[in-house]
Amino acid sequence: MTRVINKNSLDKEMSRGSSMSKNGQVTIFIILALVLVGVVVVIFAFPSVNVFSDSVNPGAYLKSCIEPEINNIKNTLSEQGGYANPPHYTFYQNMKLQYLCYTTENYLPCTVQQPLLVKHVEKEMKAYIEPRAKQCLQDLKNQYERKGYRVSSGASEIQISVIPEKIIVDFNAPLTITKESTQTFQKFAVAVDSKWYELILTAVSIIQYESTLGDSETSLYISYYPNLKIDKTRRDDGSTIYQLSDVTTEDKFAFATKSLVWPQGYRG
């Protein structure tokens, strides 16, 4: 009886041990699978992180570092008529829309308030991006140094260009890295796809109509450019809200004008 009990308990112990070992194996496989999935996710989510070698792709690193900042400032400027802090604006759907053409007088076309809109937008973007871009460059140097490279760099400067279908950030940053061999970089360029230039130039054209004729005919634009959407809202105070967007992308540009105002109560 005792022997039977002992055999039974031995069998149970063995079977428990075997079951535990199977559970352990399964756990190890799950952990390995999770690690593998994690590595794959890191490789695809952060292409600049090279897990197989100690080299860093400077272009990809700078793009991943600066692109979120470009999108941040682009979104702000898009909703505020090209101004990070609009000096003269009207509230519309919780947005401060800068007046790009404005008059205080009745019956008169507006006076242009910002004639060089593309240049102004580039200036606003530069003011916002430059400190972050310099930090990205410093981080890049630190990465190289951590990997045992000797790094020497000159004065850096960034330049923003808003051009058709793209926003380009040029890093004029001479950089020399040395380990077994020496690599020298003079300039890095980060390009982000955007239809912003087309929208801003449409805004300039609308301002020209508003400042000369006092109003604009938006159906003309959308018949020429099928991807363009224009929402034009006339308000009681005489101001007009323009919201331009590209239907194929997320790009938009909103601004306000006040032109050819009829006094309140006047019914023509």
Partner 1 sequence: MNRNLILLSLIILVVSSFGVTIAQTGTPNNPNVGTQATTVCCEETNSGAFCQNVPPAECKPSSRQVPTSCEATSYCRGGTCYDSTEGTCLDNTPQLVCNANGGVWNQDRPAQCDLGCCILGDQAAYVSLVRCKRLSSFLGLETNYDKSVTNEVACINKVQQQERGACVYEFEFETTCKFGTRAECNAQTGGNATVQAGTFYAGKLCSAEELGTNCGPTTKTTCVAGKDESYFVDTCGNPANIYDSSKINDKAYWTDVKGKDESCNPSSGNILSSSCGNCDYLQGSICRNENQAGKNPTY
For position 194 contacting partner 1 by CB under 8 A, the verdict is no
For position 249 contacting partner 1 by CB under 8 A, the verdict is no
- Of 166, 200, 196, 192, nearest to 98 by C-alpha is 200
For position 264 contacting partner 1 by CB under 8 A, the verdict is no
**Least distance CB 151 / partner 1 (angstroms):** 35
Dihedral pair phi/psi, residue 47, rounded to 5°: -60, -20
**Least distance CB 267 / partner 1 (angstroms):** 24
Tell me the residue type at 50: N
By beta-carbon proximity to partner 1, the closer residue of 40 and 213 is 213
For position 102 contacting partner 1 by CB under 8 A, the verdict is yes
For position 112 contacting partner 1 by CB under 8 A, the verdict is yes
Q: Which stretch binds partner 1 (CB under 8 A): 50-58, 82-90, 175-183, 260-268?
A: 82-90
**Adjacent-strand bridge partners of 234:** 240
- Of 97, 117, 75, 121, nearest to 240 by C-alpha is 97
Q: Torsion angle, CA of 254/119/76/46, rounded to 10 degrees?
A: 130
For position 116 contacting partner 1 by CB under 8 A, the verdict is yes
By beta-carbon proximity to partner 1, the closer residue of 87 and 148 is 87
For position 204 contacting partner 1 by CB under 8 A, the verdict is yes
Please identify which residue in 58, 81, 109, 238 interacts with partner 1, judged by CB under 8 A.
Answer: 109
Residues contacting partner 1: total by CB under 8 A: 30
Query: What per-residue string of b and e applies to 117-142 under the rule 16 or more CB within 10 Å gives b?
Result: bbebbbebbbebbbebbeebbeebbe
For position 168 contacting partner 1 by CB under 8 A, the verdict is no
For position 114 contacting partner 1 by CB under 8 A, the verdict is yes
Q: Which stretch binds partner 1 (CB under 8 A): 16-24, 59-67, 97-105, 179-187?
A: 97-105
By beta-carbon proximity to partner 1, the closer residue of 88 and 134 is 88
Please identify which residue in 56, 58, 65, 113 interacts with partner 1, judged by CB under 8 A.
Answer: 113
Q: Which stretch binds partner 1 (CB under 8 A): 40-48, 86-94, 127-135, 150-158?
A: 86-94
Under rule CB under 8 A, which residues in 7-26 are in contact with partner 1?
A: none
Contact 194, 251 (CB under 8 A): yes
For position 38 contacting partner 1 by CB under 8 A, the verdict is no
Report in angstroms the alpha-carbon separations of 208 from 2, 200, 205, 222, 241. 104, 13, 5, 17, 15
Distance CA 143, CA 48 (A): 11
By beta-carbon proximity to partner 1, the closer residue of 185 and 225 is 225
Contact set with partner 1 (CB under 8 A):
87-89, 99, 102-105, 109-116, 118-120, 163-164, 201, 204, 207-208, 211-212, 223, 226, 248
